[in-house]
Every structure is written in structure tokens, then in C-alpha cells.
Amino acid sequence: MQVEVEAKFLNIDHGKMRNALERAGAKCEHPMRLMKRAMLDYPDGRFQANEHRKRLRVRDEGDKIVINFKAKNDTNYVHEIETEVESFDKMIQLLEAIGLEVYSRQESKRETWHYKNVEVVLDEWPWLDAYIEIEGPSEKAIQTAASDLGFDWKDAKFGSVDTAYRQKYPGMTKNESIGDLKDVKFGDALPEYLAKRMKKNGQSI
């Protein structure tokens, strides 16, 4: 398995972030594009169990289709297997044919930059403030990149996009996930699922 290290910095102005990346000499590899993914699991939910530590997804990245499996360990490192496939729909059909089920279909937007030996991605998700993610071969590499781009390492967050949703909607427990929603799509109204978890913390909608 490939091992990657990634850190998120939340509530980021992407316009200012692009300026900082350009000043640092980073190169934009893929402009902002719509991405869609299907999350799959067995009917017994074995991947979603154990605090959402495993994920199997098929993702259309705009310029390629990949199937990806992630398993988080006890540190910030993520074990990952990923390979390109020819068709988003056919890959899902194949997985359904062997007994898996799509439990969530999701949209996001992503812009990818390359800086030194790390990848910096600008991410947008429905009902969530924009954020960035820095991915690299080691924690030292992403710490250095984060410092170069003006971030304080103590502000780094780790984990899946659920980390960002839990900050925005503090009523979410560690065992809940945005993947609990069947559809996560731009333009849809704020789901009652998230509205209730915002109210739990006394926030207004």
C-alpha cells in the first residue's frame, strides 16, 4: 500500500491562497473542476464500522476515473490503494455485481497545485467553508510547505473531509459522517441532518 501524509487547513479564502501559491513558486496542475464520487460498502456496513476508518470509492476527477481504498491507522498516516479505471459507471456496476452497494453519492470541487515535493489542493464541498489540503511523502515535507505558505502547524487538521464538517457542524459525533447522507450535491438545500447538528451547538442556520 502507498502511505501518504495529509493535513487540512480550514476556512481558507481560495483567492488569497492562489496568490500565496504563486508567490511561493507553486504551479497549478489542474484548475478548479467538479468531481463526483460513489462510496461503496457491503450490505453489513463493514467499511463504515470502526469509526469510519475504511473507505472504498469510485471517483471521477474530471480528467481521469479512479477506484480508491483508504484505511487510516493510529497516526496521521493513511494506507491507500488507488488505480485508474476506464468508466465511472461500469466500475460501480462491477462492484455492485460482487455484492457491494453505493451508500452515498457526493460532489466536490478541487483545484490541484504542485509545490516542491508536495501537492496542495483547494477543496470545496456542499454546505462547507472552503479549505485546503497538503499531501506529501512525510510529515516534515508538509510541515515545511505549510510554513512556507504562511500556516501555523498547530492549526492543521487530520482525517477525511468529515473533520471539516464536524468543525462546521459540532453536533456531529466522531461516528457520524457526511457519507451518512445518500446525496451530497451542490445547489441542494442544507439537509435536516446537518441543520439538526448545527442546532445542537446553539448555532443559527
- pLDDT, tens digit, for every residue of 59-107? 999 889 999 998 876 655 667 899 999 999 999 999 999 999 999 999 9
Count other Cβ atoms within 10 Å, centred on residue 53.
16
Residues paired with residue 5 on neighbouring β-strands, in sequence order:
77, 136
Q: Tell me: the pLDDT tens digits for 130-185?
A: 999 999 999 999 999 999 999 999 999 998 899 999 999 999 998 888 999 999 99
12 in Cβ contact with 131 (< 8 Å): yes
Domain 2-199, CATH number (from 1.10.10.60, 2.40.320.10, 3.40.1010.20, 2.60.120.200): 2.40.320.10
Count other Cβ atoms within 10 Å, centred on residue 186.
12
What's the gap between Cα 155 and its chain centre? 17
C-alpha cell belonging to residue 47: 467499511
Q: What is the pLDDT of residue 200?
A: 60
C-alpha cell belonging to residue 91: 466500475
| Contacts (Cβ under 8 Å, ≥6 apart) of 93 | none
pLDDT greater than 80 at residue 195: yes
Phi-psi sector, 43: left (phi>0), alpha (psi -120 to 50), beta: alpha
Closest residue by Cα to residue 34 from 69, 13, 63, 67: 63
Q: What is the pLDDT of residue 85?
A: 97
% of the chain at pLDDT higher than 90: 76
